[in-house]
Structures are given as C-alpha cells and as structure tokens.
Amino acid sequence: MKKVVMPASCIALSLALILQGCSGSAGSETSEGAQGQGTVEPVGTYPLVKEKQTLKVFTKQDVNVEDYETNEFTKWYENKTNVHVDWEIVPNAAIKEKIQVKLAGGDLPDVFMSSPITDSQMVGYGSQGLFLPLNDLIEQYAPNVKKMFEKAPYLKHYLNTPDGNIYSIPNVGETYHSTMPKKMWIYKPWLDKLGLQVPTTTEELYNVLMAFKTQDPNGNGKADEIPLSGADGTNNGHNEPESFVMQSFIFFDRANYLMLDNGTVEFAADKPAYKEGLKYIRRLVQDGLLQSDAFIQDRKALTALAEDPAGSRLGAATALYWGNLTIDNGPSGRYKEYVPVPILAGPDGQRIGFDRGYAVDNGHFVITKNAKNPPLAMRWIDWFFDEENKLQEGWSDYLGQEGIAWKKPDPGVKGLDGRPAKYQTIIPFGTKNNNRWAQTAPRFQHEDFRLSQAATPDAQTEIRLLEATKNLYKPYSAHEKYVPHLYFSDEDLARFGDLQKNITTVVQDFMLKFVTGTLDIENDWPKYTKELENAGLQQYLQIIRDNYAKLEK
C-alpha cells in the first residue's frame, strides 16, 4: 500500500481543523466557560498551581500497583505539580458497571482516567454536557497531546465525535507485534522429535498435526496429545482458532466481520472464501486434529494442556503470544519452547494477514462537568504524553524511578531496533511494585521509543515478538482491508448496536455448528445466509457504508 507523507504545513492545518471541530458550536462555548472556572500556571512551568488543589480521579486498578496512595510516583508527581489525587480505584471486573452507575447517578469525579468510556457514552453524555469538550483545552494547555496528534495522524479517526467535539484523549501504544495479533505457536520439542519443520501452508499444518496425533510425540505411550487448540476469544489473548486460520483464505476481523474491498465496505463472513476456510477448519476438527472445545473453553483450560505436570499435551495453539497459552516465565520453561508459525499459504497460495494497525484505546481521559478546574486537569494529564522528557527527569509513570526501576544503558548497549538504547528495565514489566503506576495513566509511546528499550535478556519477550511479527507476519499484512474506527450519530448508534449483536450471534453460532458437524456447510449454507439477512445484514452494511463515506470526506 502506498505511503503518503504529508507536508508539515498540511499536518498543522489538519490538526487545527481537528481541534477546531465545529466552529462556533455550543461545545466550544462550553469549553471556554469551563476554562474560566479555575486558574493554572503558564504552560511549561511547574508546579501547576501555587496553592495545592485536589483532583478526583476515577480509574481501574492495575494489578501491578501495590497502593496508589503510598506509591512513589504518586508522591513525586504530587510534589512536582502541587496537585493531590483523590483516588477512586475500581477492580477491572466491576469497572464497566461502576462507570454506568456513576453516569446515571450524576456522582461524577473530576476525570475518568484509563476507564473504558465507550463511543456511545462519549457521544451521548458528551452531547448532554456530562463530559466537557476538550478541543480548546487541548489547544491552550496540552502541547504534548497536540504533538501526539501530529506524529500519529491515524488518530484523526478517534477524535472528533459527530458534533465536532473531542471528548476524550486516547491511550496510544505503538506496539509493533500487537498490530498483527492473530498468531499461532507450535511446540518445537515435538517437531524436533518427529523430524518435522514449522509448517508454512495449510496442507503442511494438516500433516504436522496428524503426526502429532498418531506418532506419540510426548512419548508416554498414550494417544493423549491435543495437536491444536485455542480458547473462546472473549479476552484479549486472541486465542480463537478461526481468526488465525482464516488469514489463509480471506481478510477476517472477528470484531465486526467487515473488510474493505477496493474502497467499499464488505461483509466477510458470507463470502465463498470464508466458506472455504470453514471447510478447512471442519476437516481439522473431523480428523481429530483441532480440539472441538477450542472454540468454547477458557484460557485456563488451554494453559492446563500446555502446563500438564507430566509434560505438555499441546502441540500448537492460537494466541497473541506464548504467555496466552503457557505460564510466561513459568517454572516449566515451556513458554520458551513454543515457536511462531507464519501466516500459512492457503490452497490458492494466498496469505491475507489481519493487520489492525497500532492499537488505540479510546476514552482513556475524560473531564466531567464536575471538574472544578478543567485547565488544571488538562495540564496535569499532558505531562504523561512525553516519554523522552520522562527519561530526562528520571521519573516515569510507566517505568518508575531511574536507578530503582530502570536505568540508562551503558555505552554500546543496543536497543530492540539495533540503535543505541535509551532505557533498560531493572524491575521487569508485569512485576507488582510500588514505584510506578504501570499502565494506569494514558500515554503516547511512539514506536521509536518502544524499540529503544535495551535488548537485554530481560527484554526477550519484546525481542521474540518483534522478530516473529517482522519476519513471519508483516510480509503478508493486508492492512488496506481494515475498516477504521467510526463514530455514529445517536440514531445510527441505537440501531447499529442491536444489528451488530444479532449478526455476531448468527455468525458465531453457525460457525460453531459448521465446524463441529452439527450443520453441513454445503447443504445448510442457504439457511445461514437467510439468517444473516433476517438479522439485518443489509441495514448493518448500509449504516457502516454511510458513516465510512462521511469519514472519507
């Protein structure tokens, strides 16, 4: 796909238009009114206020943070800004329900931070005035956020809602390996024992799995091996088997079953290529190569196969990375023994890699109407969007304190990208501690910054994932087929939610029945397509196409 480089003047103009939103709108006036409610020191100076103020922050609990009140970064940032945080910490399992209760009851914090505010909530509650428009606040008080918009022009799809206002600041981590999350991992000790190579085509995969089933690779004399498995895909582990397999047949986005075909939004899950993919999956299940439970079991059951105390019983599995099918850094060491399988060439040689681009978590910083000093809230969050400055100051919300949680690398140490490294972790990621906020606050981690981590043994996870994605997945990227993020009007959103739910139910129900043999793919295909039409497929597509056309304009 051709890469277009915009001149700096065009980028600046685009940013100005994004921040301007709907010129003269009620949102702009509300923003100006909100700014008059509090005082803040000039941009670029600290502390943010002369007399200490309190910011009420609602956020979800990061399991790797011991105590937000006594956290070392909390204390450092309060001293720097003169802003005390009054925390409301909610467990991840209860966060969505708690947000809805807050919004419905009017008991609002000053800000929602790293809480999953949905698009529909932003559009609905933003238009009602519960969330403040951020356009003017960003323009006047958030130079780092503005720089992020310039460096990441793809964010334009996530910013302005239909009324022209920006109601949230996203969390942006340009994680290279996460752009193509539909991966497969195969157990190398079994390959080595049977003298096999990592498969590169769908037929080679079939043959390898058949060998796993019939040649006793775990050597216990029992036919107890599970050649291939997965999990139900309801978490972010990308464990669902169909998403990896379909990359050999058609562009497949399990989130919505949509794809772009020559600029037109199309539905993938009724196309002949999708049907052929189902036939291949059915063949694997029918011949005992793909565990039928792979579509419905949870990740815990999948991990139990790989981490069986008597030896792994799992030949291969689909997952974002090995830690979603084994115990990462676990005592068995099996997390090191599962190696990546490339996107497989299908029967006609096609490889159509699902590439979603950089993951953007929208709705991660929202200022509510209850905020006593909106400019202060904006200046407070803006600091988090400059990773280079954090290294210079010796403190990072994500890394922690220099000398305790991370350090500057010795001369000559290379980063993940082969260039001089900028930072080296001391406390590994995923370790519970009280020196940092981990992933609590939104931030902008540009790809160049992420790859500047020292390529030391502690960084083996990033190194392995970078190499696998670069060599085995990116060459087959079909990102041009990915339908970007879309906002909907209140009217469209009300219809779209029900339509998408109904269509998703039909696709998933029939997929499971087709691959397990409850229904015959050929004979029952007309029944499936009729159910899709009854669920509102054409209305669903029309809403998407209309809103995509607006986006393109």
- Count CB-CB contacts under 10 A for residue 80: 14
Mean pLDDT of 155-174: 91
- 168-to-113, 141, 159, 188, 432 alpha-carbon distances in Å: 10, 15, 7, 45, 29
Beta bridge partners of 54: 84
Find the helix or strand (DSSP H, E) in which 529 lies: helix 525-534
Identify the weakest region by mean pLDDT among 14-18, 101-105, 138-142, 272-276. 14-18
Nearest one of 242, 244, 190 to 213, comparing CA atoms:
190
* Per-residue pLDDT band at 235 (split at 50, 70, 90): low
Average pLDDT value for residue range 437-442: 95
* Three-class SS state of 551: helix
Give pLDDT tens digits for 88-133. 999 988 999 999 999 999 899 999 999 989 888 998 899 999 999 9
Q: What is the DSSP letter of 473?
A: I
Q: What is the mean pLDDT of the chain?
A: 91
On whether the CB atoms of residues 437 and 398 are closer than 8 A, the answer is yes
Q: With contact defined as beta carbons under 8 Å apart, do 65 and 440 qualify?
A: yes
CB within 8 Å of 339: residues ≥ 6 apart: 185, 186, 188, 198
* Per-residue pLDDT tens digits for 22-58: 433 333 333 333 434 578 999 999 999 999 999 999 9
Return the pLDDT at 461. Answer: 87
Does residue 1 surpass a pLDDT of 80? Answer: no
Does 26-176+359-445 carry CATH code 3.40.190.10?
Answer: yes
Sign of the C-alpha dihedral computed for residues 65, 68, 72 and 73 taken in this order: positive
Cis peptide before 47 (omega within 30 of 0): yes
Q: Which of 55-64, 132-141, 178-187, 227-236 has the lowest mean pLDDT?
A: 227-236
CA 59, CA 61: separation in Å to the nearest integer?
Answer: 7
Query: Looking at residue 159, what is its pLDDT?
Result: 87
**Residue-wise pLDDT tens digits, 3-26:** 333 333 333 434 444 455 443 333
What is the model's pLDDT at position 8?
A: 35
423-441 average pLDDT score: 92
pLDDT at 418: 92
Residues whose CB falls within 8 Å of the CB of residue 148, separated by 6 or more in sequence, listed in order: 155, 172, 385, 444
Model confidence band, residue 553 (pLDDT cutoffs 50, 70, 90): low
Higher pLDDT, 456 or 269: 269
E-only strand ranges, 430-475: 444-445
Task: Using the Cα atoms of residue 145, residue 148, residue 153 and residue 154 in order, give the sign of their dihedral.
Answer: negative
- For the chain, which residues make up each domain, given as ranges? 26-176+359-445, 181-341, 490-552
Half-sphere exposure of 419 (CA within 13 A, CB side): 8
From the list 98, 31, 312, the residue with the least C-alpha distance to 193 is 312
pLDDT in tens, 350-397: 999 999 999 888 999 999 999 999 999 999 999 999 999 999 999 999
Q: Which two tokens stand for residue 315?
A: 């030949």
More confidently predicted of 431 and 71: 71
pLDDT for res 303: 96
26-176+359-445 matches 181-341 in fold: yes
pLDDT of residue 233: 73
pLDDT tens column, 282-324: 999 999 999 999 999 999 999 999 999 999 999 999 999 999 9
Per cent of the chain over pLDDT 90 is 80
Q: Does the pLDDT value for residue 419 go beyond 80?
A: yes
Backbone dihedral angles phi then psi of residue 255, each to the nearest 5 degrees? -70, -30
* pLDDT above 70 (res 517): yes
> CATH assignment of 181-341?
3.40.190.10
Q: Is the pLDDT of residue 412 over 90?
A: yes
DSSP H helices in 36-128: 72-81, 95-105, 119-128
